[in-house]
């Protein structure tokens, strides 16, 4: 099964089309065009009151594109747990609008803990003050090596060995998914 890793959402002409293509699913709310999903407390804002678009718009457009154009049959969003309600709403609205048939396409949100800065506050990607992923991985590697040395564990003795071990774990993870023989699309927010 081919594994394709994409950014969380892609902004495109398709995002603008959402505001005009499915008027039966959109409701006016304080000048915004929103879409409600069954049993979800908060709607998606598809068009802001000033005519602009949001992450909701991008995520819906990307979901539609990945199902219709890329023919994905399994989409996994790897995003922090704070986004769980948002993605549940995106999945439900995608079904309501007819963009995705869950009997044919599996949608999952693989949530993980929140990444905190040294000040113990959640990184906010919109502010631009986040650490680069490569730097975060390097720091994690250094801290892991320090702990291994402190505990006098000799199974991993150097930086290269640990990198090799982690790379092999990633390769096995991808290989495990490839056995299923279907198309997997990982949508990562890095």
Instruction: Pick 123 or 76 by higher pLDDT.
Output: 76
- How far is 17 from 23, CA to CA, in rounded Å? 11
**Range name among 15-24, 160-169, 173-182 with the lowest pLDDT average:** 173-182
- Indicate the pLDDT class of residue 107, thresholds 50, 70 and 90: very high
Q: Which pLDDT score, from 0 to 100, does residue 188 have?
A: 47
Q: Is 91 helix (H, G, I), strand (E, B) or coil?
A: helix
Residue 112 binned pLDDT confidence (cut-offs 50, 70, 90): confident
pLDDT exceeds cutoff 50 at 181: no
Average pLDDT, the chain: 77
φ, ψ at 71 (rounded to 5°)? 60, 35
Lowest-confidence segment of 21-25, 67-71, 91-95, 153-157 by average pLDDT: 153-157
DSSP 104-152: T-EEEEEEEPPPB-TTS-B--GGGT-PPPHHHHHHHHHHHHHHHHHHTT
Instruction: Return the exposure string of 142-159: e unless at least 16 CB atoms fall within 10 Å of the residue's CB, then b.
Output: eeebeeeeeeeeeebeee
How many CA atoms within 13 Å lie on the side-chain side of 125? Answer: 11
Query: If you average pLDDT over residues 62-73, what whole number do you get?
Result: 89
Does pLDDT of 98 surpass 70?
A: yes
β-strands 32-35, 106-112: how paired? unpaired
**Residue of higher predicted confidence among 152 and 9:** 152
pLDDT band for 120, please (50, 70, 90 cuts). Answer: confident
DSSP strand pairing (74-80 vs 184-188):
parallel
pLDDT digits (tens, 9 = 90+) for 38-63: 889 999 999 899 988 888 988 998 89
Lookup: tokens for 43: 């709607």
Least confident of 53-67, 105-119, 136-150: 136-150
Please indicate whether residue 88 or residue 158 has the higher confidence score (pLDDT): 88
């Amino acid at each position: 099964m081919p594994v394709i890793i994409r950014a969380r959402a892609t902004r495109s002409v398709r995002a603008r089309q959402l505001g005009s293509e499915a008027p039966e699913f959109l409701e006016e709310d304080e000048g915004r065009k929103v879409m409600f999903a069954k049993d979800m407390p908060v709607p998606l804002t598809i068009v802001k009151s000033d005519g602009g678009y949001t992450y909701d718009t991008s995520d819906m457009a990307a979901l539609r594109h990945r199902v219709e154009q890329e023919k994905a049959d399994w989409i996994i969003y790897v995003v922090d747990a704070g986004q769980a309600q948002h993605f549940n709403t995106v999945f439900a609205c995608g079904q309501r609008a007819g963009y995705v048939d869950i009997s044919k396409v599996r949608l999952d949100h693989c949530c993980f803990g929140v990444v905190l800065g040294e000040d113990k506050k959640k990184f906010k990607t919109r502010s631009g003050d986040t650490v680069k992923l490569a730097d975060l991985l390097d720091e994690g590697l250094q801290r892991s090596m320090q702990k291994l040395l402190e505990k006098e564990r000799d199974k991993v003795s150097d930086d290269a060995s640990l990198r090799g071990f982690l790379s092999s774990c990633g390769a096995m993870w991808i290989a495990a998914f490839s056995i299923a023989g279907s198309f997997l699309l990982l949508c990562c927010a890095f």
